[in-house]
Structure 1
């Protein structure tokens, strides 16, 4: 989809009002950022995300027209019309810049020691220029706004988890069945406090005619480093291997340009990233501004998905990372 001139003007008008009233982006409400000209397009996007293919791309915003704070306000305000933002870390982060953060990411975002060396959490890997394997995020919807692109690499890749699931059933139905049973995941780098460092969660699920898949091999591998977690069987590893293979076979790859927006429904879309190289001196620094959203109309999930989502009923507020408790 492309934003036309009238729709950009509508966004700018909403932004100007917020700036003139000195409203911080983090406290912004949907009512404070009205987008009447965009209402029909936003409804189409919402429907496509929940009832269609689960992915929507949007173009037309020019990041260079805005200050950094204005761009965050515009992005946050636009996203409010698709759902309620949920936290991306235990401290209540609502927007995260996905970029190369340099050295020390393991110490900042979580790491473990394994016999093969240092094992980085998924959050730490996201803050590196390394490849990211196919995975889903911890929210119904993930939105990404490209602020800057890399000098080379960094292509985004998406694959339909529905297609992967159906192809797995066609080729190896027994392995598909394995992924409907719980597999242990670690909370490394994501959730704070408590005694529960791991939890059981199936990769596949279905309820009320709606499919869901939650997959990140990194969390599974991290759980296997915990001595109290039951060891994965060869059949379970084979099922995850086939899933990864099928995602590679059926993926679509593209390059984000500044201003490009992508919304994904994590229940039906896996996403991944190629490794990248920045050249900040020449103006090339890959940065995607990420938001996690809970839409007002989301699907019901199977009961055995509650360890991750907490609330599994349809049209409920869920997703994101639990806030750390204050003593």
Structure 2
């Protein structure tokens, strides 16, 4: 599939809620292209029409997954050891290799659909997730400094005000963002909400093409290294990069503006009016060109975290456990297809994928105060 945006698809900057000021800004930052010609530049309508980002598993492919699971279990290895060579998918694996290329160089979005999570114990379901995702990108990254690998189970939690306001545990809609690290981010949906909770994605390439054609001044703002990020600790860097001929976008509004769960310390610098306008422009264009995915239980979503923004709509859980939204996230990187990471982002990538640090696989959500007990000497 090739979805190229030769012209901006929004009627005008004013129609999208953007200011018309700066339309005659003279030029883009040095080295940044006037337009990104790539399959990664798509709109929600073009993706929906193509609908080739969803791989629907056949009965034979599900049987192949089951056989791979049983084979791996005979080895007696820890689940973290799963890789294509010990989780053999001779037929499906070829399709997954194509999906990996699509995620890295094609549309940047893929959904694998057809598994029934209720058919598997949670341990087996997790091993399937690890096995299938290893064909997409074989390196798995830590999610935090504690070494959690299954990325803070994404479930509603109103036990405290802070938890209820955190985007990971809130039932409210959240804004577009990237994860702090990971070339690819994957989610396994164990169960969906009774209502709402769609996964919504948008192309950073499409956003860039529109701004480059109408507001190059905002591209210059986004590419400057003076953005004052406060998470995980204070540091300044750009929001967008042009690395080896590829655009990379990485930001989160909470890290730049703060929110109820993460109040911004008063001593830190705040965003300029131009920076706030640039963030609002990203959100506005993303919403105008977004792709909404009605998630189903058992879905495995994979996105190119370097160029695909994501958010979710608000949701309402039901009483039954099958009507309570529960996602399990992983951060991934492919040795074969991985992109060059800008130096300003390398520290977070090293924390996630470097050798230093432990790894903990919690199959169920853990309380915020949980920490593994230190191993005592004999």
Scaled by the length of structure 2, what TM-score is found? 0.72
Greater Cα offset, 158-167 or 179-188: 179-188
Aligned mate of 2:173, from 128, 131, 140: 131
Q: CA deviation at 1:243?
A: 0.9
Mapped partners of 1:36, 1:14: distance in 2: 10
Give the drift of 1:230. 2.6
Say if 1:87 and 1:321, in contact at 8 Å, map to a contact too: no
Q: Cα RMSD between the aligned structures? A: 2.6
Q: Aligned in 2, Cα 1:46/1:37: closer, same or farther, shift over 3 Å?
A: same
Structure 1 outlier segments of 4+, above 4 Å: 317-324
Specify the alignment match of 1:314 in structure 2: none
Report the equivalent of 2:231. 187
Rounded Cα–Cα distance in structure 2 between residues aligned with 1:143 and 1:86:
11
* The one of 232, 236, 240 aligned to 2:279: 240
The match for 1:35 is: 89
- Distance in 1 of aligned mates of 2:328 and 2:345: 28
Equivalence for 2:47? none
Whether 1:284 aligns to 2:323 is yes
Q: How many residues align?
A: 298
- 1:201, distance to aligned residue in structure 2 (A): 2.3
SS of the residue corresponding to residue 148 of structure 2 reads: coil
Give the structure with higher Rg (CA).
2
CA gap of 1:82–1:150, structure 2 versus 1, over 3 A, is: same
Asked if the contact 1:89–1:322 (Cα under 8 Å) also holds between the matched residues in 2, the reply is no
Return the TM-score normalized by structure 1.
Answer: 0.83
In structure 1, the partner of 2:340 is 300
Change (3 A) 1:319 1:51: farther
Matched, 1:101 2:157: yes
Q: List alignment gaps of at least 5 residues for structure 1.
A: 108-117, 189-196, 312-316
CA, structure 1 residues 86+4, in 2 after alignment: closer, same or farther (shift >3 Å)? Answer: same
Which ranges in structure 2 are unaligned for 5 or more consecutive residues?
1-54, 360-373
Tell me what 2:18 maps to: none
- 1:175 corresponds, among 177, 202, 218, to 218
- Aligned in 2, Cα 1:11/1:95: closer, same or farther, shift over 3 Å? same
Cα shift at 1:251: 0.4
The one-character-per-residue Cα deviations of 1:138-160 (angstroms, maximum 9, x if unpaired) are: 21101112211111111111100
Q: Which has more strand, going by share of residues?
A: 1
Give 1:163's match in structure 2, choosing from 196, 206, 211. Answer: 206
Following TM superposition, by how much is the alpha carbon of 1:34 offset from its aligned partner in structure 2, in angstroms? 2.1
